[in-house]
Structure formats: structure tokens, C-alpha cells
Structure 1
Amino acid sequence: MSSLEKLPVTVITGFLGSGKTTLITHLMKNPGGRRLAVIVNEFGDVGVDGEILKGCAIPECPAENIVELANGCICCTVADEFIPTIEALMALDPRPDHILIETSGLALPKPLLKAFDWPDIRSKITVDGVIALADAEAVAAGRFAPNVAAVDAQRLADDSIDHETPLSEVFEDQIACADIVLLTKPDLAGPEGIAQAKAVIAAEAPRPLPVVEVAEGAVDPRVILGLGAAAEDDMDARPSHHDGADDHEHDDFDSVVIDLPEISDPATLLARITELADRQNILRVKGYAAVAGKPMRLLVQAVGARVRHQYDRPWRPEEGRRGRLVVIAEHDDIDAAAIRGILLPDAATAE
């Protein structure tokens, strides 16, 4: 790449549990001849996704090319973190051919695009494209795209309701900002669910968008990299619920970090996470656990009551064999004591 060419950046957005980390892992292993760098913008104090990706590092995307920003929304820490991170990646030798940015599942993408207009980097990087991931089963069920008629009827019945839920706004802003939508977990949705999800996305999109079904993040990099969208110059075509506002709110969501001692039975932990979803209005649980007698780390990811787990990599010698979970919920629903009581009942009883 000539030093005069702008470095392309792909912004990968999507709701909690939509499969962003799985997609980036696939791209790292199948870069299409590109040397990649990755920026992971986590929500909360513990960087689970960054650790997952570093465990998948390969020569085309070594561990030093994977940077985690966990101190807040990337578009709100432009001067302190985002700009220095971009400049550090561009100074690597060899220089990356392409940067992937995994946003927090709670992020609004348009404010991030505005960060690319920052004077220090505008002439050096360009947004090659915005990729929105959408969970086919969840979208088909209407959990993140409320029925407009039903919302209008509810507004008429209750004068106190004057806005849509934060979750629907996040979903709609991500779709509106996208250049292409990847419809993930199509096997769980089935043909009818996929058709319904595509209809919902088409209704929410401000312009016709390509929608591609993707299972386990397996997509040809030629489909989503090299779009040349220059999205930072195309802001008017990407409407947001927050257009005209000085900033956007992050107080709608909160997280609790749970430190886990070594466990003997993974099934018990998974059952407690399912119980947590049943008893608390939890959006997402992600993290890892140490299982007695197992040299591999147990990776755990949950969206609502749907829990997935796998052994992802061996524990490193310098790591303590202790697990950590990040639990994310809407601010008004989060109850740290109740969450700890469910996930760590023995500790709660001891106290």
C-alpha cells in the first residue's frame, strides 16, 4: 500500500450476541491476502472479546495488531484513546493493510463515523464500510424491532410513553448506518424466520441494503472488505435517532463483573446463567471459567436464556485459574447483589 493511500477501516457493529467476534475470528483466519489489525471496543471493565481474538492470532494478524479499548464508548474517547490507537497501528512495521473495528454491542455507529473526521486522521484513514450483524431469530421475533402500530397504540393509551425503547433505537441505528447486513444464526431462525427478519430489516433500512445469511461467521472476505464506501463522507444517507444531538446516552445500560473461583461442574454454571436470564432482565453474559481438572479455558457466551460454551484455549502459565463473567443489562434492571446471589450462591450464603 502506498503511504499516500488512505488506510481502509471496516466498522463491524451489531446487537449483543449477534456474532461480531466470531466474524472477526473468521476474517483473521481468512484475510484474503491482507495483513489485518483489530480494535475491540468492549463494554465494561473486562475485555473478554479482546482475549478471545488474541487467542486466535496468526501471522497475518499477530497479537500486537489486536488492541482493546475498554474505557468507554470509542466515539467518546476520540482524543484520549481512538486517535492514539489508530496512529499506533499505522506506525506498525509492517503496516496493516486493513483495520477492523468491533464496536460494543450497545454502540451507536454514526457517532463513531464522525470520529473519522478528526483532523489528525481524516487524511490517513477511510471507512471502507459499515457491516451490521443481526441475529436472524431475534429479529424475526421482533425483540429489537418493535411493531410500529403496536407502539403507536401504546402511546395513545399511555401519555407517558413518548419514545421507543433504547434497544430498538440501537438496532435501527445500526441498520440505518450499514452498507451491508449479515444475518447470523440462520439455522436457528429457519426459512420462515429468515424471510421475516429480512422483511424487518428492509422496513428499517433507509435505502436498499444487501442482506447475506452467515453461519458461524463464515463469509468470503471479498464480500465485506474492499467496499470503498467512504462512509465518513456519506453521513446524510445514514440517519440516526440521535441526529441533531450533541452526543448520545450510555446510561441506558450497565454491567456487573463476576469473578469466578475454579468450578467443578460446568453444567451447574450454565444452569445458573439460564436461571439468571429467567429471573433478571439480562441482555448478555460473556466470559470464561476455569474447570477443575481441565487444562483448557471454558468460554461462555449467553444472549438471554440461550447459552453457548466451548473450551477455547489452554490456560497460560502466567494466568491465575480464575474465571470472569461480564453481565450486561439495561440500567434500571441491573441488580448486582441479585446477580451475584444467583451466579455465586455459596458466596452469598457465606456472607
Structure 2
Amino acid sequence: MSDIAKVPCSIITGFLGAGKTTLVRNILQNAGGRRLAVIVNEFGDVGIDGEILKGCGVETCSEDRIVELSNGCICCTVADDFVPALESLLALEQPPQHILIETSGLALPKPLVQAFNWPAIASRVTVDGVITVVDGAAVAAGRFADDPAALKAQQAADPSLDHDNPLEEVYEDQLLCADLIVLNKADLLTDEERVRITAEIKAAVPRAVKVVISEGAKLDPKVLLGLNAAAEGDLAARPSHHDAEGEHDHDDFESFIVDIPAVGEPADILGRIGAATAAHDILRIKGFAEVKGKPMRLLIQGVGHRLQHQFDRAWHLGESRQGQIVVIGQKGLDRDAISREIAGG
């Protein structure tokens, strides 16, 4: 790579639990020797996503090339966090050949794309593409997004609805900024649902954007990288609900951590999480737990009532085995009740 060439960056966006971290992990594990780096933006106070990525054990993306930004939404902390993180990666003795940027599930991608025009980094990096990951099963269930046309019709018929649902706005903004849309978890969809959701996505995006289908966010990196979109120079084609705003906030959402003791079996903690999710308006669950007698760490991730778990890696020597679960939901969650139900107290 020429020293004067801009380093391509892929912005991986998508709603809560869509599969962004899994997609990034799959790219890292199939990098084909390419030097990669990752900037991951947590929504919460514990670096679960960063820990998942650091467990990959990929030589071409060592732990010092995975930067976690946990001070807030990446699109709200560009100057304080994002630009310095990029500069630190570019200053490495062997700088990355491609940088993956995983936003939080609530981030708006357009402000991040705009940041690539900042003088400090404009001559050194470019947005290779914005990749939006869509949770097909969640959309099919109407959990995170509605048909945009139906929403507009509802607003027109009901004068009391004077603004869009914030979840709908985030979902639409992520679609509108995309250069590639990944319809993930296709194995949980019927053929009719795949066709319908794909049609809804294409109807919501006013320009030609490819929609690719995936199961478990498994796609060849050749499909995802090398889009050469130079998105920072194409902002006018990426409309946003928030174009007229200087910034946005996430006052509609909150997150907190539940410390959990070691469990006898995975089913113990999964049952408690499932019960808490059924009883409260929890959007997303992610974290780790210790299973007594097991040398491996139990990774738990969930969207709504759907929970996934796996033993992702061995506990490190001397590492704290304190289990922690991040709970994300809309504001007003009963933190005490949820904590008791998940921790088993």
C-alpha cells in the first residue's frame, strides 16, 4: 500500500442485536492476512463487544488494534473520542490496511461519515462503505421497525402523532446511509418474510443499494470490503431525519449492568434472563457468566425473547470470573426488579 493512499474504513451500523459484532468477528477470522483494526463503540459501561472481538485470537488484528470507545455514542463524541482513536491507529508502526468501525446500536451513521471530512484525518482515511446490518427476525416481528409507508399513513390519519417513533428514525437513518445492507438471521425467516422485508428496505432507500442475505452474519469479506464508496464525499445522497439538528441524544434509552454469581448450568441463567425479558421491556441483553466446573467463559446475547449462548473462550489465568450482563431498554426500566430476577437474588 502506498504511503500516500488513504486507509479505507468500513462503518458497521445496525440496530441492537442485529449481528454487528458477529459480522466483524467473521471478517477478522477470514482476513486472509490483511492487517485490520477495529474501533468498537459500546452502549453501556462494560466492554462486552470488545471482549468478544479480542477473543478471536487473530494475529493480523491483535488486541492493541481493537480500540473501545465507551464514553458515549460515537456520533456524539467525534471530536473527543473517535478522531483521536483513528489517529492512534494510524500512528502504529505498522498501520492497519483497513479499519472496521462498529457503532453502537443507537448510533446515527451520517454524523460519523461527516467526520471523515475533518482536516485532521481527511487526507489519511476514507469511508470504504457504510454497512447496515438488519435483524431480519426482529423486523419481521415488528419489534424494532414498521413499514415506512404504513407509518406515514398512520401519522396522516392520527393528528396526535406529531413525530416518528425514535426506534423507527434510527432504523431508517441507518438504512438511508448504507452502501450495503445485510439482511441477517435469514434462517429465522420464511421465504415470504425475506421477500417482504427486502422489498420494504428497497422502498425505504431512495437510491440503488444492494441487499445481501446472511445467516449468522457469515459473509465473505470480499463482499463487504473494497466497496470504494468514498461516502464522505456523497453526503447529499444520504438523507437523515436529523439533518437539521446539531446533535441528538439517547434520552429514550438506558443501560445498566447486573453482576451475576456463578451458575450450575447455562439453563439456570438463561431461564432467569428469559423470565426477566418476558416481564419487562428489555431490548437487548449481552454479557458473560461463569459456569461452575467449566474452564470456558459463557457468552450470552439476546434480542427480545431470543437468546443465544456459547462458550467463547477459556478463562485467562488470574482473570476475574465475575459474571456481568448488560441490560439495554427504553427509559423507565425497573432496574431493581430486573437485577433481582437475573441475578437470582
TM-score, scaled to structure 1: 0.94
Tell me the residue number matched to 2:82: 82
User: Where do residues 226-265 of structure 1 align in structure 2 (5 Å cutoff)?
Assistant: 226-265=226-265
Q: Separation in 2 of the partners of 1:48 and 1:228?
A: 30
Q: Separation in 1 of the partners of 2:152 and 2:2?
A: 53
- CA offsets, 1:298-320, max 9 Å, x none? 00000000000000001111311
Asked if structure 2 preserves the Cα contact closer than 8 Å seen for 1:131 and 1:224, the reply is yes
Asked if structure 1 preserves the Cα contact closer than 8 Å seen for 2:132 and 2:178, the reply is yes
Q: Separation in 1 of the partners of 2:68 and 2:30?
A: 21
Tell me, what secondary structure is at the counterpart of 1:100?
Answer: strand
- CA offsets, 1:54-97, max 9 Å, x none? 01031111111111111111122222221211111011121110
Asked if structure 1 preserves the Cα contact closer than 8 Å seen for 2:282 and 2:304, the reply is yes
Tell me the residue number matched to 2:190: 190
Offset of 1:200 from its aligned partner? 1.3
Tell me the residue number matched to 2:278: 278
Q: Separation in 1 of the partners of 2:209 and 2:140?
A: 17
Tell me the residue number matched to 2:162: 162
Q: Which has the larger displacement, 150-159 or 56-65?
A: 150-159
* Unmatched runs of 5 consecutive residues or more in structure 1: 347-351
Tell me the residue number matched to 1:319: 319
TM-score, scaled to structure 2: 0.96
1:337 counterpart = 2:345: no
Q: Could you tell me the percent identity over the aligned residues?
A: 56
Asked if structure 1 preserves the Cα contact closer than 8 Å seen for 2:148 and 2:204, the reply is no
> Which amino acid letter does the alignment assign opposite residue 94 of structure 1?
Q
Tell me the residue number matched to 1:91: 91
Asked if structure 2 preserves the Cα contact closer than 8 Å seen for 1:139 and 1:200, the reply is no
Q: What is the CA RMSD across the aligned residues, in angstroms?
A: 1.5
Offset of 1:33 from its aligned partner? 3.9
Tell me, what secondary structure is at the counterpart of 1:76?
Answer: coil
- CA offsets, 1:267-307, max 9 Å, x none? 12111111112111110000000111111000000000000
**Residue 160 to residue 40, structure 1, CA distance change in 2 (3 Å):** same
- CA offsets, 1:219-264, max 9 Å, x none? 1111111111010111110011101111112212110111112122
Asked if structure 2 preserves the Cα contact closer than 8 Å seen for 1:145 and 1:200, the reply is no
Offset of 1:156 from its aligned partner? 5.6
**Residue 223 to residue 156, structure 1, CA distance change in 2 (3 Å):** closer
User: Where do residues 52-67 of structure 1 align in structure 2 (5 Å cutoff)?
Assistant: 52-67=52-67
* Unmatched runs of 5 consecutive residues or more in structure 2: none
Tell me the residue number matched to 1:131: 131
Q: Separation in 1 of the partners of 2:136 and 2:225?
A: 22
Asked if structure 2 preserves the Cα contact closer than 8 Å seen for 1:133 and 1:183, the reply is yes
Tell me, what secondary structure is at the counterpart of 1:337?
Answer: helix
Asked if structure 2 preserves the Cα contact closer than 8 Å seen for 1:144 and 1:167, the reply is yes
Q: Separation in 1 of the partners of 2:265 and 2:259?
A: 16
- CA offsets, 1:124-148, max 9 Å, x none? 1100000001112222333333245
Q: Separation in 2 of the partners of 1:149 and 1:99?
A: 36
Q: Separation in 2 of the partners of 1:64 and 1:337?
A: 36
Q: Separation in 2 of the partners of 1:113 and 1:152?
A: 27
- CA offsets, 1:89-109, max 9 Å, x none? 011121110000000011111
Offset of 1:197 from its aligned partner? 1.3
Tell me, what secondary structure is at the counterpart of 2:17?
Answer: coil
Asked if structure 2 preserves the Cα contact closer than 8 Å seen for 1:206 and 1:239, the reply is no
Q: Separation in 1 of the partners of 2:178 and 2:93?
A: 31
Tell me the residue number matched to 2:104: 104
- CA offsets, 1:184-207, max 9 Å, x none? 111101211111110111111121
Asked if structure 2 preserves the Cα contact closer than 8 Å seen for 1:32 and 1:221, the reply is no
Tell me, what secondary structure is at the counterpart of 1:75?
Answer: coil
Q: Separation in 1 of the partners of 2:57 and 2:177?
A: 29
Q: How many matched pairs?
A: 345
**Residue 241 to residue 251, structure 1, CA distance change in 2 (3 Å):** same
> Which amino acid letter does the alignment assign opposite residue 334 of structure 2?
D
1:37 counterpart = 2:37: yes
Tell me the residue number matched to 1:349: none
- CA offsets, 1:158-190, max 9 Å, x none? 543211111111110110000011111111012
Q: Separation in 2 of the partners of 1:93 and 1:76?
A: 29
Tell me, what secondary structure is at the counterpart of 2:75?
Answer: helix
